[in-house]
Amino acid sequence: MGDAPFLSVEEISKTFHSDQVVNQVLDSISFTIQRGETIALLGESGCGKSTLLNIIGGFERPDQGFVKLQNEPITKPSRKAIMLFQHYGLLPWKSALKNVEFGLESSSLSAKERAERARHYLDLVGLSGKSQMFPHEVSGGMKQRIAIARALAPQPELILMDEPFAALDTFNRYHLQDQLLNIQAKEQTTIVLVTHDIDEAIYLADRIFIMHSNPGRIHHEIHVELSKPRDRSHPDFYAYRKQILDEFHFSRQESAIEFHI
């Protein structure tokens, strides 16, 4: 079994029915992911990328096909694949530390071990001094860092991110993306990231799956072969950017040269 892929998505299809409208959101999607990879699912809203992420997490069932994590089919949510949400999903009545400990709620650790591990992961996201703060007392960026610490605490095989930084301003977003790269280098977590932010996809992902809608399909796969951490202003970065913009037909094909030297 050693050579089975870490995560395999096979022939996933999903259709939503509402009144008379039949909407095929996903049409036989297949791919595999290796341990430690970061994958970005990039597409416009409505292309089914969040539905696909929910199916990988076990929150929704596909009509056809299946998802296997370490060769075991995923049928329901579990601590092996933790989802991070755009709006953090923190429990407002718990302190940062207790929120992280909540990630270990169903583990067999003792109360002391839980607190220790929660502290360790709060340190890792740079919030060691804020463990007693409540979610409403900290900024959006800190909330997402608490959520990341909580997701890491049970040491999941896979982290699923549903537009995790979309609610943050640009500077916070850049800062958190860097932090995520650091953490990923240390923890070797496998990440599937859903985003509509092209720069975010290029900055974080090893491979980018470009999704188009009606029905949702993976249109194209792009290997980002730049070493991390990447330079957002490097010409190579822009080359990937242009390639993706072309995919979405946002580039101007025949833009006139605006000036000559």
Sheet (strand 217-223) strand order: 81-84, 158-162, 190-195, 38-42, 207-212, 217-223
Is residue 77 within the footprint of other proteins (CB under 8 A)? Answer: yes
Minimal distance in Å, beta carbon 103 to other proteins? 6
Per the DSSP assignment, residues forming a β-bridge with 160 are: 83, 192
Q: What is the DSSP letter of 116?
A: H
Among 103, 141, 164, 216, binds other proteins (CB under 8 A): 103
Minimal distance in Å, beta carbon 193 to other proteins? 17
Cα–Cα distance, 73 to 9 (Å, whole number): 10
Among 20, 92, 108, 258, binds other proteins (CB under 8 A): 92
Choice between 54 and 213, CB closer to other proteins: 54
Long-range contacts of 121-127 (CB under 8 A, 24+ apart): 121/149, 121/150, 121/152, 121/153, 122/96, 122/97, 122/146, 122/149, 124/149, 124/152, 124/183, 124/186, 125/149, 125/179, 125/183, 126/179, 127/96
Choice between 143 and 217, CB closer to other proteins: 143
Minimal distance in Å, beta carbon 135 to other proteins? 6
Among 2, 18, 21, 106, binds other proteins (CB under 8 A): 106
Site string for other proteins, 134-173 (x = CB under 8 A): xxxx----------------x-------------------
Is residue 126 within the footprint of other proteins (CB under 8 A)? Answer: no
Q: How many residues bind other proteins (CB under 8 A)?
A: 25
The CA-atom distances, in angstroms, between 55 and each of 36, 75, 127, 205 are: 20, 9, 32, 20
Interface with other proteins (CB under 8 A): 57, 59, 76-79, 81-83, 85, 87, 89, 91-93, 102-106, 134-137, 154
